[in-house]
Amino acid sequence: MGRDPRSGGGLRVLAVDDVRAALDELCRLLRAAPEVDDVRAAADALSALKMIQAEPFDGVFLDISMPGLNGLELASLLAKLSEPPAIVFVTAFDGHAVSAYGIGALDYLLKPVRAERLADALARVERFVAARRATEASEQAPPPKPDAMPVLPVETDGRIRYVRRGDVRYAEAHGDYVRLHTASGVHLVRMPISRLQEYWEESGFVRVHRGYLVAIDGVRELRSDSVGGMLAHTDLGDVPVSRRHARELRERLLQAAQRGELGRR
């Protein structure tokens, strides 16, 4: 079986014509085109249908006037497939153009086929394939995760306030609570730091110590402490970094620096 067209690369096409000389010339032109990776040939519509049912093609270059099942009839059958190939008719007669476009043909080439017109048709096939792949990719992509806890309610003196995640430079474990360090002060939330990590690790926070989370874009620099340990410096203070988490932090900081995101908080 040939290449799956969904895997990328050049086009895989099928040429169909009952006149041997015309089929050979069409295959020659297609093989000479830089957009095409693989060219297969069929001498009649029924053989072409069996090949298309057995393996995928990006495009089919199809003669219209053929004995038995003609090109228009074959194209009508292909249009009913779940993923039909792009159809380009290649014919010596222009009287079928309306019917051809009516069943969804991408292009209509008159014999003898000129290389520049074939290039135009192949460009249309490429756009058709690219659009299909984009649609398939969007359908297969997992749905975006909901933004987890962008705001946390905190209770102070009997009042509920709301702290935005974007205002937090770092979070510090405090028993069954977490201290949220922001420019407006320190806010206490009843939640284990491991749970807060689950909520916020996809939003730019990284665990740097058993008792600390830090916002990557809030780190100004890394410093050494008096005993050779590492500290992540923020504008609200230094956050200890354990050896276990140092490598991940450096990697995340490098990525943020490359995106120009450091020091934005």
- Taking 90 as the threshold, does the pLDDT of residue 34 lie above it? yes
CA distance 185 to 187: 6
Span of 161-165, 239-243, 257-261 with lowest mean pLDDT: 257-261
**pLDDT average, residue stretch 16-20:** 96
- Between the alpha carbon of residue 62 and those of residues 26, 99, 123, 138, the distances in Å are 10, 14, 17, 31
- Taking 50 as the threshold, does the pLDDT of residue 185 lie above it? yes
pLDDT for position 140 = 78
**pLDDT average, residue stretch 219-245:** 92
pLDDT for position 99 = 67
Domains of the chain: 5-140 (3.40.50.2300), 151-258 (2.40.50.1020)
Burial of 54 (0-12, 13-18, 19+ CB in 10 A): exposed
For residues 132 and 143, which has the higher predicted lDDT (pLDDT)? 132
Could you tell me which residues come within 8 angstroms of residue 61 by beta carbon, excluding any fewer than 6 positions away?
Answer: 13, 14, 15, 16, 26, 30, 88, 90, 109, 121
Residue range 138-148, pLDDT digits in tens = 777 776 666 77
pLDDT for position 144 = 62
CA 67, 72, 75, 80 dihedral sign is: negative
Give, to the nearest 10 degrees, the angle between helix 71-78 and helix 45-54: 20
Percentage of the residues of the chain whose pLDDT score is greater than 90? 65
pLDDT for position 43 = 96
- Taking 60 as the threshold, does the pLDDT of residue 4 lie above it? no
**pLDDT average, residue stretch 166-177:** 94
- Between the alpha carbon of residue 172 and those of residues 92, 177, 209, 251, the distances in Å are 78, 9, 9, 22
Residue range 53-108, pLDDT digits in tens = 999 999 999 999 899 899 899 999 998 888 899 999 998 877 666 566 677 788 99
pLDDT category of residue 166 using cuts at 50, 70 and 90: very high
- Taking 80 as the threshold, does the pLDDT of residue 263 lie above it? no
* Full-model pTM: 0.53
Name the nearest CA neighbour of 167 among 233, 260, 236. Answer: 236
Name the nearest CA neighbour of 46 among 15, 79, 68. Answer: 68
For tokens 């003669």, the residue is: 63
Rg from Cα positions in the chain: 31
- Taking 60 as the threshold, does the pLDDT of residue 3 lie above it? no
